[in-house]
Amino acid sequence: MHSKSDFANEMKNRTKKFAVESIRHFRSLPKTDEARIIGKQFLRSSTSVAANYRAVCRARSEAEFYSKLCIVVEEIDETVLWLEIMQEADISTSDTLQKEADELMKILSVSKKKVATNLKA
Domain boundaries, the chain: 4-120
Q: Is the pTM of this model over 0.85?
A: yes
- Could you name the CATH architecture of 4-120? Up-down Bundle (1.20)
pLDDT tens digits, residue range 7-52? 999 999 999 999 999 999 999 999 999 999 999 999 999 999 999 9
Burial of 98 (0-12, 13-18, 19+ CB in 10 A): middle
CA gap 104, 91 in Å, rounded? 23
pLDDT tens digits, residue range 44-94? 999 999 999 999 999 999 999 999 999 999 999 999 999 999 999 999 999
